[in-house]
Amino acid sequence: MKSLNNDMDLIKFLRGEELAALKLRALYGLNGYSGWRMSKFEEYEFYIRNKDFLVSENVLTFTDVNGKLMALKPDVTLSIIRHMKDEPDALRKVFYDENVYRVSGNAKSFREIKQVGVECVGAVSELEVSEVILLAAESLKLLAASNAKTALNISHLDLIAELLGKLNLDLESQNKIIKFIADKNSHGIKELCGSDELARLINISGSFNEVMPALREIFNNSDNLNNFNKIISNLLSKAPELEDVLRIDFAALSDLNYYNGLVFQGFIEGVPARILAGGQYDKLMRRMGHKSGAVGFAVYLDMLERGVRQ
């Protein structure tokens, strides 16, 4: 009978998804994040209260031995916030390696999906936001196959909200505008609200230094633009190699009811859709009764078909 001689004997039998999760956990642990474990399920009523935050309203449920309706976890962030003590003056940095249960867009059936990610909660400053963005970029690099390009598309929701606030739109119209922004549909924006500024904003994309002149023309010297400029400038001064990875793209969106500030999406050459998404979600924290700030991201390992470095 053969025996295991060292860890390499074990690693070579891991599936690509398992090896990717192991690499990410090591990366986050080395950077001061501690592991967070949670139950596979929560009360169904908890997800109903927060259904607007979920990717899909479809939740896989079961009845426990006490007759209470439970749900297999469709989202990790909600569970972490629910069970983490609210300490606005402290800083808690955690990573997770969990399965979520969601309806597949193609198969129209529930799937068990492996996610790995980080959450930085509490006294979150620009320093922590920059750190999380750096960690997201490093995650993409770690998972990419040799010589495969990576991209981290970054947007700033407060800039979008600033322009939307000038339009006095009803909720239905605002939701349509958000979809037009995500689709880069400038014609739809002009037809619905006539905003030349929004129509121009969604077509601005490129490196930070390329897009800043155009953003200054639209926003002049607004506080939101100054905040955006400060964070990205400081980030690139610390990690100039990110100049070729970061791409400003306002089609990188998250729900304005839950997210604020910087949001981002990560891509790896050869993987057909985004593999990473995250951002600041102070608004979600407020809706769940917390005074803390928060920023984080998730890596969707189900999308990693060809990008793991073997």
Tens digits of residue pLDDT in 35-82:
999 889 899 999 888 888 887 778 889 999 999 999 999 999 999 999
Rounded-to-integer distance, Cα 307 and Cα 148, Å: 8
Q: Give residue 270's pLDDT.
A: 86
Q: Give residue 171's pLDDT.
A: 82
Q: Give residue 310's pLDDT.
A: 36
Neighbour tally for 109: CB within 10 Å: 8
Is it the case that residue 4 has pLDDT exceeding 80? Answer: no
Q: What is the pLDDT of residues 132-184, one digit of tens each?
A: 999 999 999 999 988 889 999 999 999 999 998 888 888 888 888 888 888 88
SS3 label, residue 156: strand
Cα atoms found within 13 Å of the Cα of residue 184, Cβ hemisphere only? 8
Establish if 2 belongs to a structural domain. Answer: no
Confidence of residue 293 (pLDDT cuts 50, 70, 90): very high
Those residues with Cβ within 8 angstroms of residue 82's Cβ, 6 or more apart along the chain or in another chain: 42, 46, 288
Rounded-to-integer distance, Cα 56 and Cα 124, Å: 29
CB contact at 8 A, 277 and 72: no
Range of the domain at 203: 7-303
Strand partners, 298: 117, 277
Establish if 224 belongs to a structural domain. Answer: yes
Q: What is the pLDDT of residues 201-245, one digit of tens each?
A: 988 899 999 999 999 999 988 999 999 999 999 999 989 999 999
Establish if 1 belongs to a structural domain. Answer: no
Number of structural domains in the chain = 1
- Alpha-carbon Rg of the chain, whole angstroms? 20
Exposed (0-12), middle (13-18) or buried (19+): which is 169, by Cβ within 10 Å? middle
Q: Give residue 7's pLDDT.
A: 64
Residue range 104-118: average pLDDT? 80
The CATH number covering residue 40 comes to 3.30.930.10
CB contact at 8 A, 113 and 103: no
Q: Give residue 309's pLDDT.
A: 40
Cα atoms found within 13 Å of the Cα of residue 77, Cβ hemisphere only? 27
Establish if 75 belongs to a structural domain. Answer: yes
Q: Give residue 103's pLDDT.
A: 78
Q: Are strands 91-103 and 34-35 parallel, antiparallel or unpaired?
A: parallel
Is it the case that residue 106 has pLDDT exceeding 80? Answer: no
SS3 label, residue 58: coil
How many residues does this entry show for the chain? 310
Establish if 81 belongs to a structural domain. Answer: yes
The C-alpha torsion from 204 through 207 and 212 to 218, rounded to 10°, is: 10
Establish if 308 belongs to a structural domain. Answer: no
Establish if 310 belongs to a structural domain. Answer: no
Rounded-to-integer distance, Cα 259 and Cα 293, Å: 11
Strand partners, 101: 112
Establish if 217 belongs to a structural domain. Answer: yes
Q: Give residue 131's pLDDT.
A: 94
Is it the case that residue 272 has pLDDT exceeding 80? Answer: yes
Q: Give residue 231's pLDDT.
A: 92
Confidence of residue 8 (pLDDT cuts 50, 70, 90): low
Place of tokens 């209260």: 49
- Our measurement of the distance from residue 222's CA atom to the centroid of its chain's CA atoms, rounded to an integer in Å, reads 25
